[in-house]
Amino acid sequence: MGEPFSPYVIRAARFNALKDAETIRAQAQAEAAACLEEAHRQAEAIRCAASVAADAARQEAYAQGQQEIAENLQRYESSLADLSFLVARRLIDDLPRDEKLVRLVKTALADLPAQSGLVVRVAASQATAFRKAAQQAGSALATVSIVECSSLELEECVLQHEQGQTPLGVTAQLRALWQGAVS
């Protein structure tokens, strides 16, 4: 015969099995909670690392963009300067040759303190026309000696003064402007 059965009485073997099951369930819940907490920590670490990497990539892209903008701007500024000087050269070339040199000398004299013994050396082929244009310019060039120089090209002239000499030809002046603009 078997053991008597009663719905109100729990046998020891069954009671121990239920108690063991409760213990196993509690351990499984504790392990699951620990695994979940570890997963949250790892997810947070991954999110932080991804955020740092995204910030670094964003900063790198920004710096690269800034560098490309600066390079393009420099290239466009250089192109604009080239174009500006070509336009200036064309406009200057439209002026009469002698008038160009006289204007350059008058401008240079205005920048120099009053001095005696100033000499303007001009190309030999232009000396006569330059003297005539200088006389028409009036008193600004009256104290300046005009000397022919066979080593100078057409439209070149050099102003000799107490501090040294200054090339005043159109090409020299445009070159000086260009160097000032690109530096």
Q: Is residue 52 scored above 90 in pLDDT? A: yes
**Has residue 140 been placed in a domain?**
yes
Average pLDDT over residues 57-62: 94
Higher pLDDT among residues 50 and 172, named by residue: 50
**Has residue 5 been placed in a domain?**
no
Q: Is residue 158 scored above 70 in pLDDT? A: yes
- In order of 4, 5, 152, the CA distances from 1 in angstroms are 9, 11, 139
| Residue 51 structural domain | 10-94
Quick one: three-class SS letters along 35-81?
Answer: HHHHHHHHHHHHHHHHHHHHHHHHHHHHHHHHHHHHHHHHHHHHHHH
How many distinct structural domains can be found in the chain?
A: 2
**Has residue 2 been placed in a domain?**
no
pLDDT tens string 162-183? 778 888 777 777 777 767 666 6
Same domain, 105 and 87: no
Q: Edge-to-edge strands of the sheet including 157-161?
A: 145-149, 119-123, 157-161, 164-167
What's this model's pTM, rounded to 2 decimal places? 0.48
C-beta neighbour count of 120 within 10 angstroms: 26
Length of the chain, please?
Answer: 183
Same domain, 106 and 64: no
pLDDT at position 51: 94
**Has residue 34 been placed in a domain?**
yes
- Model confidence at 2, pLDDT cuts 50, 70, 90, reads low
pLDDT tens string 39-48? 999 999 999 9
**Has residue 57 been placed in a domain?**
yes
Same domain, 25 and 63: yes
